[in-house]
């Protein structure tokens, strides 16, 4: 068996996926330009998994660098995590997002064609469903009604991959639509490290609990939900990582394009997450209600039945696990700084 190339392999989801693949006996090559992660993550992945994966510092859009990787290793599949992902920033810097996210996908597809590598797993997002789709989101609903340039890059890459697979019957493409990944590896060695003020809920909560910020602003308490705050499908990053292992197995046996939601199928409100965090960690999270954040949808969560039926995968970890592991990581990350 050859190696699996993980672009964005030292990032939040890539690093957890690397650990799960290594533990399952797969060989991986990590590629990352370190625009949003640190080289030390590669060493920590090796420490958790008991063997050190090779790490290449390169831009995934750089075809010469990619050719070197495909010459040096027998790459049998690519999992493409690399990309810019901040929704707000994508509205301020759309061209940087289109350039980075689209170019890296195209360069990978071209290099894979050159070397006969036929399996592409793509990190897409639930954001491609958009506000017109009723919840729970199902893979066969129309997509593309995205509310940000970031979301549109995900949708455009999905379409590019579908066209590539339609034109080449030997290609196997798996589009994974992630819901809201949170948590961290239970070792406390790897996790998400947002730079600056966190945009996302869980990193903000852990920073409040650590005393780095005075309180959480809960964006909106007048949504048409059970307690007025927004509902999301939070999934533990280790569960999400294991979904990639299942997707790789699927890609080995199938051709064409297949889409899977990776979520738990269950939604929690912002206030439910705040309460669960306090109960799981013993750390209270002071909060106050603030105005709605533009672009937020009241409620979304996955219909997770297709991944269970076809991939034999489902999320196992609880919201309490997600809170405990996020908190452990926050405490460790603080010690490292
Ligand atoms: P992350 O920023 O932690 O990881 C992405 C990694 O890609 C970073 O290490 C960054 O340095 C690297 N990178 C960026 N551009 C690159 C390039 N051109 N060449 C090489 N490396 C590059 O983000 P993440 O949370 O791990 O997300 C991984 C993927 O999953 C992204 O594509 C993201 O859009 C997608 N996704 C994430 C979420 C989420 O909530 N975290 C949700 C849905 C989809
Ligand atoms: C956002 C992105 C999504 C991306 C995901 C990464 C949008 C529209 N969507 O999703 O594309 O994949 O991040 O996880 O931006 N909240 C607060 N206070 C805070 C932070 C968040 O109340 O300080 C609330 C938000 O209003 C939201 C919920 O918490 O209701 C979750 O927010 P967040 O973690 O940012 O994720 P999403 O907005 O769902």
Query: Does residue 334 carry a pLDDT above 90?
Result: no
What whole-number distance in Å separates Cα of residue 273 and Cα of residue 53?
Answer: 35
Active site residue 150: yes
pLDDT band at 155 (very low <50, low <70, confident <90, very high): very high
Unique residue bearing structure tokens 């894979």:
112
Write down the pLDDT at residue 223.
98
Cα Rg, the chain, nearest whole Å? 19
Helix ranges, 93-216 (H): 94-115, 149-167, 201-209
Mean pLDDT of 35-47: 97
- pLDDT one-digit tens code per residue, 308-321: 999 999 999 999 99
Cα of 279 vs centre of ligand 1, distance in Å, is: 30
Reply yes or no on whether the pLDDT at 284 is more than 80: yes
- What ligand is nearest to the CA atom of residue 240? 1
Task: Specify the residue for token string 């809201």.
Answer: 180
pLDDT digits (tens, 9 = 90+) for 65-120: 999 999 999 999 999 999 999 999 999 999 999 999 999 999 999 999 999 999 99
**Residue 337 pLDDT > 70:** no
pLDDT, residue 336, reads: 62
% of the chain surpassing 70 pLDDT = 99
Percentage of residues of the chain with pLDDT beyond 90: 96
Of 86, 201, 225, best ligand 2 pocket probe by most atoms within 8 Å of the beta carbon: 201
Q: Is the pLDDT of residue 335 over 90?
A: no
pTM: 0.98
Eight-class DSSP state of 148: S
Per-residue model confidence as pLDDT tens digits over 176-213:
999 999 999 999 999 998 888 999 999 999 999 999 99
Q: Is the CB of 11 under 6 A from ligand 1?
A: yes
Q: Taking 90 as the threshold, does the pLDDT of residue 32 lie above it?
A: yes
Catalytic residue among 150, 155, 223, 301: 150
Q: Residue 274 has what pLDDT? A: 98
Mean of pLDDT values over 129-143: 95
Long-range contacts of 53-56 (CB under 8 A, 24+ apart): 53/9, 53/18, 53/22, 53/27, 53/28, 53/29, 54/29, 54/30, 55/9, 55/10, 55/29, 55/30, 55/31, 56/29, 56/30, 56/31, 56/32
Compute the average pLDDT of residues 150-174.
Answer: 98
- In sign, the C-alpha dihedral spanning 301, 304, 307, 310 is negative
Q: Tell me the per-residue pLDDT of 42-61, one tens digit each, with 9 for 90 and over.
A: 999 999 999 999 999 999 99
* Ligand number, closest to the Cα atom of 38: 1
The closest ligand to the CA of 83 turns out to be 1
pLDDT band for 333, please (50, 70, 90 cuts).
confident
Question: Relative to the CA of 85, which ligand 1 atom is closest?
Answer: 34
- CA-nearest residue, atom 10 of ligand 1: 36
Average confidence (pLDDT) over 315-332: 97
Return the pLDDT at 113.
98
- Specify the residue with its C-alpha closest to ligand 1, atom 25: 12
Number of neighbours of residue 80 by Cβ within 10 angstroms: 24
Residue with tokens 């957890």: 16
Laid out side by side, the sheet with 27-32 consists of 55-57, 27-32, 3-7, 75-80, 119-125, 172-178, 256-262
């Amino acid at each position: 068996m050859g190696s699996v190339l993980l672009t964005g392999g030292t990032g939040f989801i890539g690093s957890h996926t690397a650990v799960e693949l290594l533990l399952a006996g797969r060989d991986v090559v990590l590629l990352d330009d370190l625009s949003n992660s640190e080289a030390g993550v590669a060493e920590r992945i090796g420490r958790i998994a008991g063997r050190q994966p090779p790490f290449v510092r390169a831009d995934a859009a750089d075809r010469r660098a990619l050719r070197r990787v495909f010459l040096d290793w027998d790459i049998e599949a690519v999992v493409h995590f690399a990309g810019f992902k901040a929704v707000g920033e994508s509205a301020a810097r759309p061209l940087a997002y289109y350039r980075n996210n689209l170019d890296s996908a195209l360069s990978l597809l071209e290099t894979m064609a050159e070397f006969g590598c036929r399996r592409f797993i793509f990190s897409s997002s639930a954001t491609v469903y958009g506000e017109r789709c009723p919840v729970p989101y199902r893979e066969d609903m129309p997509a593309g009604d995205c509310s940000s340039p970031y979301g549109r890059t995900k949708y455009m890459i999905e379409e590019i991959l579908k066209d590539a697979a339609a034109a080449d019957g030997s290609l196997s493409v798996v589009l994974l639509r992630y819901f809201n990944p949170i948590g961290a590896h239970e070792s406390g060695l790897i996790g998400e490290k947002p730079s600056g003020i966190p945009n996302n809920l869980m990193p903000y909560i852990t920073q409040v609990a650590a005393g780095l910020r005075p309180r959480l602003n809960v964006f909106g308490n007048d949504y048409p939900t059970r307690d007025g705050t927004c509902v999301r499908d939070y999934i533990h990053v280790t569960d999400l990582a294991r979904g990639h292992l299942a997707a790789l197995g699927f890609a080995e046996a199938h051709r064409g394009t297949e889409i899977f939601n990776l979520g738990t199928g269950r939604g929690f409100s912002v206030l439910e997450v705040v309460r669960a965090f306090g109960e799981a960690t013993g750390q209270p999270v002071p909060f106050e209600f603030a105005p709605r954040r533009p672009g937020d949808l009241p409620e979304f969560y996955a219909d997770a039945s297709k991944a269970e039926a076809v991939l034999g995968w489902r999320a196992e970890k609880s919201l309490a696990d997600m809170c405990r592991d996020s908190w452990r990581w926050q405490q460790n990350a603080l010690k490292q700084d």
